Structure 1
């Protein structure tokens, strides 16, 4: 049996989860690691990084390489539609990456994910991410309204994303790249998504088997 080592909250891991689920890869165990589990990562690939794909005695740790391997191993008839540069959203979110992190990081340890099932995993994450943000989680939360306004402007400027329901209920490589970025924002209570973007989120979630966080938003 192959194993895919992941965090639920990690956008890079979500890419691989989407492909594995959509393409119905058989004999695959998805293993959610605690966020502070350095030992497993170092044992498998020599560094603290996920996702990790262990297959036929070899472990690799690059998300798109893993996603492409999982696509090749897929059993489902539905293939992923090709990438369309017109639907790439990463450049539009780059200017608000800090705001996205500031909304996500203080909340993600508080919604019951297996990645953060222990106090030590939560504190490990806090220390790393507060250093990245340059402020405390408390300060990031206090600035929520300003960050939300910036993110909502970015969401309003997204290109018209193809709905799976308009494409024979299929996913594309654009969905694989775009969904993890926007999914992480669904844990922010009261954040306004354009109606088409929200519909796209729900459709991609249903086809990929990756849950959204709307019901746990903080």
Structure 2
């Protein structure tokens, strides 16, 4: 039983999937309590949902819902909030997919050390847990932290320039919030963790600032 009687959303600050849910929760006006979990606190997840994953939502009666898209749909339903279908160009979807291996090499090494992520990494143990997990995918994170990979930085800048003409404000496709916002804004969000290394084009910059102003999500 949820003793507080409030809807709770459990997240990591650095997690793009969590940002998807926070977008819908904030824009729909959902009254909820945000709960940040330490990255190595497996018990908090397993006790509630049987597996280690975020985000998950704890309903007022105490039952939990996981999987970010399912949580977005649930919030939209209970809030009578419209999410328009995806309508962005397939070109953009392809470019976003191209970003993934590059932003991981540039952003992941910074995640456990960024001051805004202290809620996710309150202990050295939490930092080491993340570093050990992610190093399996991208290699030695200490090397990338000390020497950010220039090839990936250049690729990110190139891809963002190609995406930029397709990006509108206040929402990514114009006036209607859509699944494209849910799926693409979180990628732009985590890229701001490396804003000192990247060249974020004007349309994207205007768009992410607009979304920041509409929600309780702070860019890096």
> What TM-score do you get using the length of structure 1 for normalisation?
0.87
Counterpart-to-counterpart distance in 2, 1:65 and 1:197: 27
Q: Which residue of 1 aligns with 2:187?
A: 181
1:88, 1:174 within 8 Å by CA — same for their partners in 2? no
C-alpha distance 80-206 of structure 1, shift in aligned 2 (>3 A): farther
1:99 to 93, 98, 102: 102
Which runs of 5 or more structure 2 residues have no equivalent in the other structure? 1-5
> What TM-score do you get using the length of structure 2 for normalisation?
0.87
Asked whether 1:193 is paired with 2:200, we answer yes
The alignment of Structure 1 onto Structure 2 pairs a total of residues equal to: 208
Counterpart-to-counterpart distance in 2, 1:88 and 1:21: 29
Deviation by residue 1:150-196 (Cα, 9 ceiling, x = unmatched) = 1011111115122117945x533211111001111111113101111
2:120, 2:126 within 8 Å by CA — same for their partners in 1? yes
Q: CA deviation at 1:211?
A: 0.9
2:84, 2:177 within 8 Å by CA — same for their partners in 1? yes
Q: CA deviation at 1:47?
A: 0.8
Counterpart-to-counterpart distance in 1, 2:178 and 2:213: 14
C-alpha distance 43-33 of structure 1, shift in aligned 2 (>3 A): same
Which runs of 5 or more structure 1 residues have no equivalent in the other structure? 214-218
Q: Which residue of 1 aligns with 2:25?
A: 20
Deviation by residue 1:105-148 (Cα, 9 ceiling, x = unmatched) = 11111112111121111110000001111x11122232432211
Counterpart-to-counterpart distance in 1, 2:17 and 2:35: 15
Matches within 5 A, 1:1-218: 1-26=6-31, 28-55=32-59, 56-74=61-79, 79-86=82-89, 89-112=92-115, 113=117, 114-133=119-138, 135-141=139-145, 142-158=147-163, 160-164=166-170, 167=174, 171-188=177-194, 189-213=196-220
Counterpart-to-counterpart distance in 2, 1:32 and 1:88: 35
Counterpart-to-counterpart distance in 2, 1:89 and 1:79: 23
